[in-house]
Homo-oligomer: A and B are copies of this chain.
Amino acid sequence: MIKNDTVHLLERLDEILMLKGLKPTKQRSCVYHELLLKKDHPTADELLIRVRKRLPGISLATVYNCLETLVDCALVKQVNVDRSSSRYCPNLTPHAHFRCLKSGKIHDLDLSAEDLDKLQSILPEGFFSENFDLTFSGTSSFN
C-alpha cells in the first residue's frame, strides 16, 4: 500500500532535498506542510499569512524561495492564470484547472488517461509536448 499522507509527503520532501544537496529547513517544511493542509490554490502572500502562525518570523522572500525550491523538486505546481499572482498547488496528478468567474475560486479537474490521450491527440506532427497547461473559465455549481 502506498503511503500518501501528509507525514509521508513531508518525509519525501526531506529525502528529495538531500538528494539534490539542499538542506531540509523548517521554512521549506512548513511552507510545504501548509500547502498540503488546505488544498486550495494560495498565492505567496496568502501562504505567508498561514505559515506565520507557526513560523512568525518568516519573510515573504523566503516563502518565494521555498516555493521555487518545491517547484524545482517537482512537489508543487505553479499555476498562472492571467496576470494575477501565481498560485501554488501540491496536486501532482495530471489535472486541468477551472476558474469560476463568480467566486474566483480555482478548482482542480483531475484528468483520466483517456483525457490525457485526447489532449495528446490535439498536437499536430512535429510538436513534442513535455507539459501542458489547461485552464477553463466559466461558472461552476461547486462554490
Residues of A within 8 A of B (CB): 80, 82-83, 86, 96, 98, 101, 107, 109, 111, 115, 118-119, 121-124, 126-142
Q: Which of B86, B124, B134, B137 contacts A109 (CB 8 A)?
A: B124
Asked whether A139 and B128 contact (CB < 8 A) given A121-B118, A122-B109, the answer is: yes
Which among B129, B131, B138 is the interface contact of A130 at CB below 8 angstroms? B138
**A137 touching B131, Cβ below 8 Å:** yes
Q: Is there contact, CB below 8 Å, between B138 and A131?
A: yes
**Smallest beta-carbon distance A100→chain B, Å:** 9
Known: A115-B121, A118-B121, A129-B138. 9 other contacts (CB 8 A): A83-B83, A98-B127, A118-B118, A119-B134, A126-B141, A127-B136, A127-B141, A132-B135, A134-B134
Known A-B contacts A82-B80, A109-B123, A123-B109; A138 and B128 likewise in contact (beta carbons under 8 Å): yes
Q: Would A137 and B142 count as touching, CB distance under 8 A?
A: no
Cβ–Cβ < 8 Å partners of A138 in chain B: 127-131
A47 smallest CB distance to B (angstroms): 17
- What would 17 A/B residue contacts be, using CB atoms closer than 8 Å? A83-B83, A83-B86, A96-B122, A101-B130, A109-B124, A118-B118, A118-B119, A118-B121, A122-B134, A123-B136, A127-B136, A127-B142, A128-B140, A129-B137, A129-B138, A132-B137, A133-B133
